[in-house]
């Protein structure tokens, strides 16, 4: 390997946790289509185990860097590209929690599972809030911004708040009638408000950059796929948060029925934008690669989690409203995800073995 361990720690990129996100989301994507996937339980356990292992391995140099090379951490936090990827660490905790919520019952009792999920949710939520405030504050204080490097990665710090309500909603049902259950739901709704509005603000800013400036540098081209994730997540929230809200407010049967219909309508609308952005991302990426070859970099993991989020949202909509169209889109997307995840994983392993991935 061309770099020593200390050099690897010093230059360790904050975006490594995107690989954990892109692996853990596979558990949930498989779960929503488990009736159509051979050996679904095996694959859920495989990706869950792998994502936890990856998190532990990546966390070691990540946390060491905070203590040994904090000057480099501060430099990255102030960097217009690198800083946006720091929230991928706490986001990974939430995604692993969601994966564990689906696959955990295969080997854990409820008495063991839910305290673990609560810990992951609380820790991940605190980290997401910290990085969102920190990075936005840093960006607000900058005297100027280079629009040329603006990319969909800028959505990560503010929009990461949207991932909190999905696991928080599940936990609010598990702890319903308790103070903890109330905290889970109220905090989830607060994060939903923060993430939704910041998505609108930040998406508008980044969208302007894509319209009025040249193509992104080739290594950042995959970040356009990140635009799929927010509305895919909002699709899931719209459908999945309905029951916790109805339960919490003690809605009557008539109100509950109407609320569920509205939640499905909203979910379909959000899913439509995610589907639109997926098609756009495929076209733009293909044209970008044709014009400027896209070299392998850790940014390639941006292909995985957004696509996985879209698959999960498609499965949720399919369960909510039915229709072979959603089943077809979901299974085709899942097959594409398996291919992309395998290709990116192999390139990453090859880069780690050669040491090339730690260069630059």
Question: How far is Cα 122 from Cα 172, in angstroms, rounded to an integer?
Answer: 13
Q: pLDDT confidence of 360, banded at 50, 70, 90?
A: low
Query: Which of 100-109, 156-165, 292-301 has the lowest average pLDDT?
Result: 292-301
**Exposure string (b/e) for 142-176, b if CB count within 10 Å is 16 or more?**
eeeeeeebbbbbbbbbbbbbbbbbbbbbbbbebbe
Q: pLDDT confidence of 61, banded at 50, 70, 90?
A: very high
The predicted model gives 219-248 an average pLDDT of 94
- From residue 86, give the alpha-carbon distance in Å to each of 83, 220, 301: 6, 16, 14
pLDDT at 151: 85
> Tens digits of per-residue pLDDT, 321-343?
998 999 999 999 999 999 999 99
pLDDT at 328: 97
pLDDT at 133: 95
CA angle at residue 343 from 41 to 6, to 5 degrees?
Answer: 100
Looking at the predicted structure, is the pLDDT value of residue 183 above 70? yes
Helix extents (H) in the chain: 5-10, 17-32, 40-68, 70-77, 88-103, 110-141, 156-159, 164-174, 179-212, 229-240, 242-249, 253-291, 304-321, 324-354
pLDDT at 1: 44
Q: pLDDT confidence of 357, banded at 50, 70, 90?
A: confident
> pLDDT over 70 for what percent of the chain?
99
Three-state DSSP class for 175?
A: coil
Domains of the chain: 5-358 (1.50.10.150)
CA torsion sign for 63, 65, 67, 72 is negative
The predicted model gives 310-317 an average pLDDT of 98
- Using alpha carbons, select from 45, 18, 17, 19 the residue that is nearest to residue 31: 45
The predicted model gives 260-280 an average pLDDT of 97
> Tens digits of per-residue pLDDT, 10-56?
989 999 999 999 999 999 999 999 999 999 999 999 999 999 999 99
Question: How far is Cα 305 from Cα 51, in angstroms, rounded to an integer?
Answer: 12
- Answer for the pair 133, 208: CB distance below 8 angstroms, yes or no: no
pTM: 0.95
- Answer for the pair 172, 110: CB distance below 8 angstroms, yes or no: no
- Using alpha carbons, select from 206, 217, 207 the residue that is nearest to residue 291: 217
Looking at the predicted structure, is the pLDDT value of residue 141 above 60? yes
**Paired tokens of 347:** 């390139």
> Tens digits of per-residue pLDDT, 117-135?
999 999 999 999 999 999 9
Residue scoring higher pLDDT (312 or 142): 312
The predicted model gives 1-8 an average pLDDT of 74
């Amino acid at each position: 390997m061309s770099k020593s361990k200390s050099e690897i720690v010093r230059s360790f990129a904050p975006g490594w946790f995107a690989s954990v996100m892109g692996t853990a989301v596979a558990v949930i994507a498989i779960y929503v289509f488990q009736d159509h996937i051979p050996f679904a339980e095996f694959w859920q356990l495989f990706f869950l185990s792998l994502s936890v292992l990856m998190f532990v391995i990546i966390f070691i140099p990540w946390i060491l860097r905070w203590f040994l090379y904090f000057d480099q951490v501060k430099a990255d936090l102030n960097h217009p590209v690198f800083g946006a990827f720091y929230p991928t660490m706490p986001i990974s905790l939430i995604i692993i929690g969601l994966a564990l919520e689906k696959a955990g019952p295969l080997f854990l009792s409820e008495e063991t599972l839910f305290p673990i999920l609560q810990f992951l949710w609380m820790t991940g939520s605190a980290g997401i809030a910290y990085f969102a405030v920190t990075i936005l504050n840093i960006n607000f204080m900058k005297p100027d911004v280079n629009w040329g490097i603006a990319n969909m990665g800028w959505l990560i710090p503010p929009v990461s708040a949207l991932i909190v309500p999905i696991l928080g909603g599940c936990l609010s049902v598990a702890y319903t009638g308790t103070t903890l259950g109330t905290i889970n739901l109220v905090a989830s709704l607060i994060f939903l408000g923060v993430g939704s509005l910041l998505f609108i603000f930040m998406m508008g800013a980044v969208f302007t950059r894509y319209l009025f400036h040249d193509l992104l540098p080739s290594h950042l081209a995959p970040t356009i796929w990140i635009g799929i994730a927010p509305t895919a997540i909002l699709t899931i929230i719209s459908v999945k948060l309905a029951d916790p809200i109805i339960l919490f407010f003690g809605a009557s049967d008539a109100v509950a029925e109407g609320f569920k219909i509205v939640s499905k309508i909203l979910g379909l609308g959000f899913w439509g934008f995610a589907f639109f952005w997926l098609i756009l991302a495929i076209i733009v990426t293909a044209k970008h690669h044709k014009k400027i070859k896209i070299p392998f970099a850790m940014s390639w993991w941006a292909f995985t989690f957004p696509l996985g989020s879209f698959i999960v949202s498609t499965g949720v909509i399919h369960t909510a409203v039915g229709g072979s169209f959603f089943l077809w889109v979901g299974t085709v997307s899942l097959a594409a995800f398996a291919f992309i995840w395998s290709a990116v994983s192999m390139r990453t392993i090859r880069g780690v073995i050669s040491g090339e991935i730690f260069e630059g």
